[in-house]
Structure 1
Amino acid sequence: MEVSLAEFLGQVTSNPIMAISVLLTLGVIFVNGWTDAPNAIATCISTRCMNVRPAIIMSAIFNFLGVLIMTHLNASVASTISNMVDFGGNAHEALIALCAAMFSIVVYSVGASIFGIPTSESHSLIAGLTGAALAIQNGLDGVNGQEWIKVIYGLVLSLVLGFAIGWAICKALTYLCANVDRRKANGAFKYLQIFAAAAMSFMHGAQDGQKFIGVLLLGVAFANGQPDLSGAVIPVWLMLLCSTVMGVGTSVGGEKIIKSVGMDMVKLERFQGFSADLAGAFCILLSTVFGIPVSTTHTKTSAIMGVGAVKRLSAINMSVVRDMMLTWVFTFPGCGLISFVMAKLFMLLF
């Protein structure tokens, strides 16, 4: 299946449910750029390597490039997301269920962002799709266990590997720079951290952009009467659409989230911020290559905790970590339940 931009626009204008699905998905991509992407630049701002507005602009640009370039090179994450659930053979009902999933993500993500708590649109997306699939299939037949298990891998990978690599890089730099003049080191790490923050933004776009490209392709397939994405080809115009919307969302800001991640959890120096950003970018790159969907929020915060642990465990503000963990724990049942209920309601209405 290969869809041109003209065909896509024709489907959107002629099919109201398809139009709602696309608008909701683009809304979720925008919210992701607004609420999730700021995690990538939080430490860069907190260590005063960059001011807020230039950092947000840089992040928007590299999110755009991450979606565009990595999706072209390796689209395995998009494939995992699209194959994770089975909405059944009725393409009309499947499209309705997809709308419900996107609606649940918007509601949950915006609600959490009001309180300045970092959210994981990745987990919201997975929970929303799963809840809608359970509703439409009336049971676990709507879940592909072999693909869904990659979510568990992603949870472990983002937490354990992010913490371990963040700790290892920071520990190594502590030894290597022990006898280096502090002012010279800070000057060098200013530019190194800007580079690492750009890399983190690039990989955020690569991971999360692919997830939502998979969702848009599912909507196109359902609108064409196809139950899955067999033989689907990701068109360049779709990569451009997703990357542009995510970049615009990132440019809106996210100052509360930047404060929660970069300032409240651990007080970082520049070499520590560089360590956290580099560790997070590497973990996300590894996950993307193997098609494992991970949360950039999970990865970045666990890397920051690993960096903070080099100094001492008490350097980590555990109350902030606890709030984040509670948010992540409630994401799956919260989004899943909203999606399940809305899928049932939408199928009655439409």
Structure 2
Amino acid sequence: MRRYGNVVSVDVSFSYFIAQVFSNPILAMTVLLTLGVIFVNGWTDAPNAIATCVTTRCLPPKAAIIMSAIFNFLGVFIMTHINASVASTISNMVDFGSNTQIALIALCAALFSIVVYSVGASVFGIPTSESHSLIAGLTGAAIALGGADGVNMNEWVKVLYGLVLSLGLGFAAGWGACKIVTLLFANTDRRKSNTFFRWAQIAGAAGMSFMHGAQDGQKFIGVLFLGVAFCNGQSSVENMIIPVWLMLLCSVVMGVGTSVGGEKIIKSVGMDMVKLEKYQGFSADLSSSLCLLLATLTGIPVSTTHVKTTAIMGVGAVKRISAINFGVVKDMLLTWIFTFPGCGLISFCMAKLFLLFI
């Protein structure tokens, strides 16, 4: 770390980062936990981006996974340069205090809680929200350090906006997109329209993967970068530039996670909830991508799982409400409801436990 007057310059080169990891066990644990969370995110969240594309047989699973990994990386890389407001929201919604050593330990506790909670939920094949787990984990750890003052409600309220956006707007956008597509192609030959929607849905899945990277990838890169800042004695990442190697590292880990654990989630989201045709899959991908774009540009952290599944529900509701498998929806809602108190409590307890050893 180099100081120039009141300005602090941090070396974020890959070589310096590796040296820091090997010399600082707390940072090493933070990095491993963050990469673990990103892996779990790829395992449980990223498959949602390609679920409809695979279940409507537009792409085989392996090809879809490769495409998803590529566009996840592009989403992280491009959107982080264009608009990093989601990362800013995540880093500013909590205050770990000025003691960066304690802050780094609390960050480890938050990440540990996310891994524990997410893996437990994924065992049952239920889509989880790593976005909300991340928010709950950070919040629980911040409260463990500073009580209610550790939460910046001016920023945290954006989480509530995200719930409304993902649930209400996701459903409405899915319903509206499918309704418009149905009207536009009502008199089109079925074989021709299926050919068009096959390619359109592949493009839609690519767009959904791009926006997944833009939302979730940006959040976790921001968290890992925050750990690097703590290790260098800084309490924030203000005016720091995220290096390309960090984007690449996180994108690769997310892609590997997608390839390992995606099929069960694909079945749950793309098949068990609503039986989809190609035009419906395209409508779901298009509407959810637009919702995620809106949220990303406005700095609102949302769950890609929330957005995609509610868009699918909206698409299914165009024909009839009974087309939706509400048993699957109920399971997901219960998981989402328990995420904040469950993951937050685990994080709170782990932060208190970790701090006993310093």
User: Whole-Å Cα distance in 1 between the matches of residues 320 and 116 of structure 2?
Assistant: 38
Where does 1:154-303 land on structure 2 (aligned, <5 Å)? 154-303=162-311
TM-score w.r.t. structure 2 length?
A: 0.95
Pairwise CA RMSD: 1.1
SS at match of 1:228: coil
Q: How far apart are residue 90 of structure 1 and its match? A: 1.2
Q: Is the 8 A contact 1:68 1:243 kept in 2?
A: no
Letter in 2 for 1:342: M
CA shift, 1:176, in A, is 1.3
How far has the Cα of 1:319 moved from its partner?
A: 0.7
Instruction: Please give the secondary structure, in 2, of the residue aligned with 1:117.
Output: coil
CA distance in 2, matches of 1:229, 1:282: 29
Cα deviations by residue, 1:118-157 (Å, 9 ceiling, x for unpaired): 01000000000000000011x1110011111111111111
- Listed as ranges, the gaps of 5+ residues in structure 2 are 1-8
Consecutive unaligned residues in structure 1, runs of 5 or more: none
1:348 to 316, 332, 356: 356
The answer to whether the 8 Å contact 1:47/1:270 transfers is: yes
1:43 is the counterpart of 2:52: yes
Question: C-alpha deviations, 1:38-59, integer Å up to 9, x for none?
Answer: 0011111111111112111211
The answer to whether the 8 Å contact 1:266/1:317 transfers is yes
Deviates more, 1:321-330 or 1:70-79: 70-79
Tell me the amino acid that sits aligned with residue 234 of structure 1.
I
Q: Distance in 1 between matches of 2:178 and 2:57?
A: 18
| Pair 1:118-2:130 in alignment | no
Greater alpha carbon shift after TM alignment, 295-304 vs 73-82: 73-82
Residue type at the aligned position of 1:267: K
1:70-124 Cα deviation digits (max 9, x unpaired): 1122111111111110001111111110000000010111111111000100000
Provide TM-score, normalisation by structure 1. Answer: 0.97
- Specify the SS of the correspondent of 1:298: helix
Question: Aligned partners of 2:69, 2:257: CA distance in 1, in Å?
Answer: 8
SS in 2 for 1:308: helix
Structure 2 SS opposite 1:254: helix
1:179 counterpart SS class: coil
CA drift of 1:251 comes to 2.3
Q: Counterpart of 2:356 in 1: which secondary structure?
A: helix
2:110 equivalent in structure 1: 101
Which of 136, 150, 173 is the matching residue for 2:145? 136
Aligned residues: 349
Aligned-residue sequence identity (percent) comes to 76
